[in-house]
Chains A and B, each alone.
Chain A
Amino acid sequence: MSVPVVKVEGVTKVYGAGDTAVHALRGISLKIEQGEFVAIMGASGSGKSTLMNILGCLDAPTDGNYWIRNLNAAELDEEQLSVVRSQLIGFVFQSFNLIPKTSATRNVELPLAYQGVSRSDRRARALAALESVGLADRAEHQPHELSGGQQQRVAIARALVTNPAMLLADEPTGALDTASTAEILALLHEINRKGSTVIVITHEEEVARSARRMIRLRDGAVVEDVTWAA
């Protein structure tokens, strides 16, 4: 059996200490295999954002273990974690988080630049990624010249361009209208069909229902983990 992309064992996260301590995660264990499309559901305050930050190596758990592929995140120093973020994880944020005053192509090129990919290679791969999200004709536009849906597609291209082990999307449709939401969801499914692991954090039932597996969090614990037949 292959190594799971994500393996979480007894992860807890406590903010603060003593009486004011907030238990954001209370012992979470789960596995996500290569090629899955998983939705992590939960109301505000359920700990889903904390989980997403830990999965993305942006934050460290208070206790418990987290393996991404076969790397134990707790054993990596800051420099190694930046390599993990650069090569294994692709982030998509609710607020797009594109770099302002920088063209779509350059935004997409950026993660490759941090990997030390040559300039001409970078450009070719960035254009290919933009084409795969249907924005080849907007390559030289700056973020403020694009609609919300288009900006999110640039962000997805930026997340995909490094061929990461998983795509981590935090409320990717939270700032979009219905039409754009449908577009982005379709795009994520297409990416998943091509073999990428996609993890979507959301509070929208509609987004969760389109996934094949749904993990529901409440008060920092997994309360539901269902997989629907394809």
Chain B
Amino acid sequence: MGSLGLIEIWRFAWRGISANRLRSSLTILGVLIGVSSVIILTAVGNGSAKSVKDGIEKLGTNSITVMRNGGGGGFSRSANSNTKPLTINDVKALNDKTRAPQIKAAAPILNAQGSCTYGTFSSTPQSMKGTWPSYFEAANSPIDKGSYWTNEDVTNKRAVAIIGTTTATDLFATDSPIGQVIRCNGQKVTVVGVMKSKGTVGFQDADSVVLMPLTFVQRSMAGYGGLSQIQVESVDAASTTLAMDQVTTIMDAQHKIKSATSADYRVLNQASILQSSSTSSKTLTVLLAAIAAISLLVGGIGITNIMLVSVTERTREIGILKAIGAPKSAILSQFLIEATLLSVLGGISGVLLGIGISHFSVLGVKPVVSLTSVLMAFLVSAMVGLIFGGWPANRAASLRPIEALRYE
């Protein structure tokens, strides 16, 4: 039957849309919000995943952490109630170059809690650690200003500290902290150096830190119990896996572990932390995309609604078109194109707005737009027009001419 010129159908569809600009704009707005939120929210999800990943990489990919077993997360060998604490002897064993050629340095870490003051200023560092000078190498933490404290300071239990930039700003604002005496948990401590800034990883501010000699922290703050962690650095990123094996061998010997299942410690490296963080950020992205998809669905229902109104309003016109010979297919495609046009216009403007907004940081996250989400959002919006416009269009096309003509 008569193939109505495509241009003619488009013209009719466009006339339908432009006849009621406000109504059409609001419908388009519904789709626009749906499409742009899909793009923005998935970009925020990707962005937060990327920032966590970047942050962890900044901490050093050759870092290996040995922890006492028990407590959640990461590479866990089964819990054992009969566990030995981590000791200085473990650290010394790990620093044995003949037994562990792939280990560059190992350092003990003893965590203390509390706050530091300088005059009227006060700061509560996210971590206060007692350690050895090898930590600076093992944890990829060079200093920016001042100097390192030394093995001699450790031997003599000296009250010296290297602080992070956040702690330095809290206590000294813009003044130089080098050589100043602060009080940490009531103990006088001399600041000898400031670390290079490492930035924030998730909620963890790596610059809110005070590093002191292990022996000083044991004597004045945390006592002589077991160590909190042992920080190990492999010679390079490629040998991290090998270094982890060596750590395991040495620790098994130290703690007299017979089988892997009875180990009383666990070994973590950045790769495994990276893996678990990317899993959780993937979940976040999916969740955000689901929320956005719901708003796209609502936009689609808006199209159905407006098309039903449009069909009702133009019932008489449909009757006239049928009387002068319009076949069912012409009416159907006219209304389908009208609905698709609405959703595609919303889709295009939603893509533009979504990409535009994604250039700004949202809730402290720099969004990363993925091409897949843009294409998906756009295609889905076009489909939304066809699916949600289909029912009203079919209703229009199925009207009996005599009834449509009589409609007032």
Give me the interface of A with B, judged by CB distance under 8 Å: 53, 56, 58-59, 78-79, 82-83, 85-87, 91, 93, 97, 99-102, 110-111, 113-116, 119, 158-159, 162
Contacts and interface: CB of A to CB of B under 8 A. Distances in A.
A55 B131 CA distance: 102
Interface string B293-333: 00000000000000000000000110011111111101000
Given A53-B402, A99-B317, A101-B15, A115 B325 contact: yes
Query: Of residues A58, A83, A99, which shows the largest number of chain B Cβ atoms within 10 Å of its Cβ?
Result: A58
Interface string B231-255: 0000000000000000000000000
A212 B128 CA distance: 112
Query: Of residues B8, B321, B323, B402, which shows the largest number of chain A Cβ atoms within 10 Å of its Cβ?
Result: B323
A58 B401 contact: yes
Contacts of A114: 2, 4, 324-327, 330
B405 interface: yes
A43 B91 CA distance: 112
A82 B317 contact: no
A162 B325 CA distance: 10
Interface residues of B, number: 24
B372 interface: no
Interface of B: 1-5, 7-8, 15, 19, 316-317, 320-328, 330, 401-402, 405
A85 B320 CA distance: 11
Given A79-B1, A116-B4, A58 B402 contact: yes
A111 B330 CA distance: 12
Contacts of B317: 99-100
Contact of B5 (A83, A91, A119): A119
A99 B401 CA distance: 15
A85 B3 contact: no
Given A79-B328, A99-B320, A59 B4 contact: no
A85 B323 contact: yes
Contacts of B401: 58, 85
Nearest to A83: B1
A91 to B, nearest CB: 5
B43 to A, nearest CB: 41
Contacts of A93: 320, 405
A107 B1 CA distance: 20
Q: Is the interface of B mostly helix, strand, loop or mixed?
A: helix
Contacts of B1: 79, 82-83, 116
Contacts of A91: 323-324
A90 to B, nearest CB: 8
Contacts of A102: 15
B397 to A, nearest CB: 10
Given A58-B405, A86-B325, A119-B7, A97 B320 contact: yes
Contacts of B3: 116
A113 B320 contact: no
B324 A101 contact: no
A169 to B, nearest CB: 13
B263 to A, nearest CB: 78
B325 A87 contact: yes
Given A79-B327, A93-B320, A110-B321, 5 more contacts: A58-B322, A78-B328, A93-B405, A97-B316, A99-B320
Contacts of B405: 58, 93, 97
Contacts of B320: 93, 97, 99
B325 A111 contact: yes
10 contacts: A58-B402, A83-B1, A85-B322, A85-B324, A97-B405, A100-B317, A111-B325, A113-B4, A116-B1, A158-B324
A87 B324 CA distance: 9
A115 B323 contact: no
Nearest to A116: B2
